[in-house]
Amino acid sequence: MNSSHMLNQDTFVNLLHTLRVYRFRQLIWLRGEQAWCQAQALSLIESQQTLQTSSLKGCWVQAIVGSSTQPDLPEGMIFLPASKSRGWLGSEQQILALDAFSGFHPDALGALAGTLQAGGLLLLLTPEAWSEAIDPDYQRFAAWPLDAKNLTHYFVARCERLLIESQAPQISQSQGKMGDWALPQYQYLPTAALSVAGEEQAILVEQLVNWFQSKPLAPVVLTANRGRGKSSALGLLLRELIQQPSVKKILVTAPSTQAAAAIFARFADLPAEQQAQVSFVAPDAVLQNLPPADLLIVDEAAAMPVPVLQALLAAYPTCVFATTQQGYEGNGRGFALRFTQHLNQYAPNWLAFNLQQPWRWAVGDPLEILVNRLLLLDAEVIDPVLNPVINKQPLTFSWLKQADLAANEVLLQQVFGLLVLAHYRTTPDDFRQLLDAPNMHLACAWQGDLPVGLALIQHEGGFDAELAQAIFMGKRRPQGHLLAQSLAFHGGLVTAAELNWWRIQRILVHPRLQRQGVGQQLLNFVLKKAQQQPALDLIGSSFGATPELLPFWFNAGYQPVRLGITKDQASGEHTLQVVQGISVAGKALQQRLLARFIETLPDALSLWLQALPADLLVQILQALPLKNLPLKTRLLNEQNQLELHAFANGHRSLAVSRTALKAWLWNVLAKPRENINLAPWVQLLLQEVSEQKLQDALGLKGKKALDKWLRSQLKILIE
């Protein structure tokens, strides 16, 4: 590159000075060959370092980490694989380098941009013609037999367009310095804005101290957009509490220790005995050991599964749940949608606090505005109209193409905003998949010209016999094809990988229109379209099972064929897979999957599924054709009936009555009746939980009380 294309040192120093004065952060876009971009980035980091009094703290982020592509980093900079970026939520950095040559990872940008302090830089390294290059990170969702080079690049093309439109400062290997390197002069003094933010934080800390001193049993929910000083406020709260005369035991939990670092930093200068009152414990360890505590702080709560939060609330009624509300990293909106509903039910006197003013940077920060646009973190959804006249008008349904979304920013914002609002776990990665994932079909429900429901459908299966056999044997696991592969391997039927599937990856409805049949209409629309596909055999879905979700699928004609034996890390729930046959071969496979599921279920219940909520299990069992159970399991012969009668009306012990009781229970489950609580019987006889656990669950004291309860209940049920 010739000297006329070099960045003038004064230009860079002026930019850094302006950023510091106005407490802003900025993205600098480096475009060219990888080695050139890395050299430029290191040069900028070095220049920034010389202006610092202490060593620079930052991350060099790569999606696909390889030693051959890693430059030597100056002191204070660390290599960070993009996949680990969420663990750094809540930390503070002064510089970030996102090396997109190893793949552009949207989740990493979403998570890490918020960790950058005022005056900080985000260096984005990309090829010159970025949208024409193959992005290695696209390999992650290139389902077999495709790879990254076969995928569209709508997401990257949109990023490229927005960066050019934003006039973000850039240095191009072929064209030199471009974009706007002089930040606009703002009218207000940023110090005034900072004092407002400090005042807001101080008021919040005082309110929280008063709340704690009132010995509350009411939880607090603290929400804030990124960079509003939420973690810092929690640290100041703890600083106040541990300096008071009485000794307290305070637990802090978060998705990772880095996420909680900003909390502990606020009282790191206090004496060791005061600091010792606060300890960090990982969420799973808290729930496993239930250490005693006067207060539990849950930071970055939205990045944890909702069932984990529910369990923490049950164990620690005096607690603060702090979370980022803007955008959608973790399951931000799901926290709002699902967890606050849970709070309304189980802790109706819960308190809500919010921080508005930016703390880590100033209002009008260029980086916040740009990242919000790139990842649609600020996607605003127009709410559907709720009035009787409009609601009587039928909804319309249509198919959307990814090219249509890429070409229409307004439609893209509406559709993606709906995905964020209505589904509890949506990430920046999902935004990219919406635009570029291969073999995806999008079905949309409309109220007039407003999208109000969405189904994302993935085409799966169609493996040749040899590869299908290797999948069944567990020797191969080609990328993608979740349902087809899972039912071939776990479900034990090789045909599941050979046949062609539509997997409904997500189905969602605007919260205002939920429970009004919109989702069922959308499922019907998808099913009709599936039935018109000549090469399609089955349609199905795989999701975290909850009592609210099951009737939705079962009423639409889907049958359960597999239940995951461990909890899903993301949802905290057991995965349920449901199917509906389309072709003759598909319907035959559905019957075989059902038969095998029923046959293997009794063993699974007493071994791996002991902890599954029994009410959920009852719903699943009642949706199965249990008349297909092996006869010996459910044979309610004369001997079994005599023993049942003796248990209900006499003193025959539970120990010698289990065979008869089990046969009776399988028969009752096979003929569902309303308003019968079978959950305790399922726990006792099928999941084989201990009698002590069952006593606790039913609130009974002692073996005699349980015995009495079982006999009296059975008497009612067999009459």
Name the band, by pLDDT with cuts 50, 70 and 90, for residue 306.
confident
What digits encode the pLDDT tens for the residues 381-400?
Answer: 788 887 665 556 789 999 99
- Report the range of poorest mean pLDDT among 360-374, 517-531, 568-582: 568-582
Find all residues with CB under 8 Å of 668, minimum gap 6, and list them.
Answer: 676, 678, 717
Angle in degrees, CA 698, 703, 708, rounded to 5: 70
In 3D space, the residue among 68, 59, 66, 53 whose CA is nearest the CA of residue 96 turns out to be 59
Length of the chain: 719
Per-residue pLDDT tens digits for 192-205: 566 677 889 999 99
Strand, helix or coil for residue 356: coil
Q: Which of 377, 374, 367, 366 is nearest to 330 (CA)?
A: 377
What separation in angstroms does the CA of 714 have from each of 255, 661, 678, 681?
45, 9, 10, 10
Q: What percent of the chain has pLDDT over 90?
A: 69
Comparison of pLDDT for 686 and 304, the residue scoring more: 686
For 321-343, the pLDDT digits (tens) are 998 765 544 444 556 667 888 89
Residue 505 has pLDDT above 50, yes or no: yes
Distance CA 128, CA 515 (A): 49
d(CA 64, CA 66): 6
Dump pLDDT digits (tens) for 209-219.
999 999 878 89
Distance CA 554, CA 475 (A): 33
Rounded mean pLDDT, 80-103: 90
pLDDT value at residue 207:
95
Nearest-5° angle of CA 524, CA 530, CA 533? 155
Distance of CA 456 to the CA centre of its chain: 16
Question: Residue 163: what pLDDT?
Answer: 97
**For residue 548, which of 350, 338, 384, 310 has the smallest C-alpha distance?**
338
pLDDT in tens, 549-585: 999 999 999 999 999 988 877 677 899 999 999 999 9
Question: Which pLDDT score, from 0 to 100, does residue 660 have?
Answer: 94
Residue 206 has pLDDT above 90, yes or no: yes
pLDDT band at 2 (very low <50, low <70, confident <90, very high): very low
| Nearest of 444, 469, 443, 468 to residue 458 by alpha carbon | 443
Sign of CA dihedral 635, 636, 642, 645: positive
pLDDT at 335: 65
**What is the C-alpha separation between 639 and 658, in angstroms, rounded?**
13
Pick the closest to residue 307 from 570, 491, 653, 120 (CA basis).
570
Locate 18 and state its tokens.
């302006």
Is beta strand 440-447 parallel, antiparallel or unpaired with respect to 450-461? antiparallel
**Is-cis flag, bond preceding 145, omega within 30?**
yes
Stretch among 161-165, 344-348, 423-427 having the lowest mean pLDDT: 423-427
> What stretch of H or E contains 94?
strand 93-99
Q: How confident is the model at residue 91 (pLDDT cuts 50, 70, 90)?
A: confident
What are the Cα distances from residue 176, in Å, to 14, 173, 184, 528? Answer: 18, 6, 22, 56
d(CA 173, CA 36): 7
Order across the sheet with 351-355: list the strands. Answer: 278-280, 250-253, 295-298, 319-324, 220-224, 351-355
% of residues, the chain, pLDDT over 70:
93
Q: Which of 182-191, 289-298, 564-573 has the highest mean pLDDT?
A: 289-298
Structure tokens at 611: 């902890």
DSSP state at residue 140: G
Which position has the token pair 């496979």?
589
Instruction: State the DSSP string of 297-346.
Output: EE-SGGGS-HHHHHHHHHH-SSEEEEEE-SS-STTHHHIIIIIHHHHHHH
The predicted pLDDT at position 227 comes to 79
- b vs e for 297-313, b when ≥16 Cβ sit within 10 Å of the residue's Cβ? bbbbbbbbbbbbbbbbb
Residue 222 has pLDDT above 90, yes or no: yes
Which residues, in sequence order, are CB contacts of 371 under 8 Å at separation 6+? 27, 109, 110, 113, 377
What pLDDT sits at residue 330?
40
Alpha carbon distance 219, 322 (integer Å) = 11
Cα distance between residue 96 and residue 113, in whole Å:
8
pTM of the model: 0.86
Question: 126: left (phi > 0), else alpha (psi -120 to 50), else beta?
Answer: beta
Q: Which two tokens stand for residue 444?
A: 């949309």
Query: What distance in Å separates the CA atoms of residue 117 and residue 46, rounded to the nearest whole number?
Result: 18
Dmax (CA) of the chain: 100
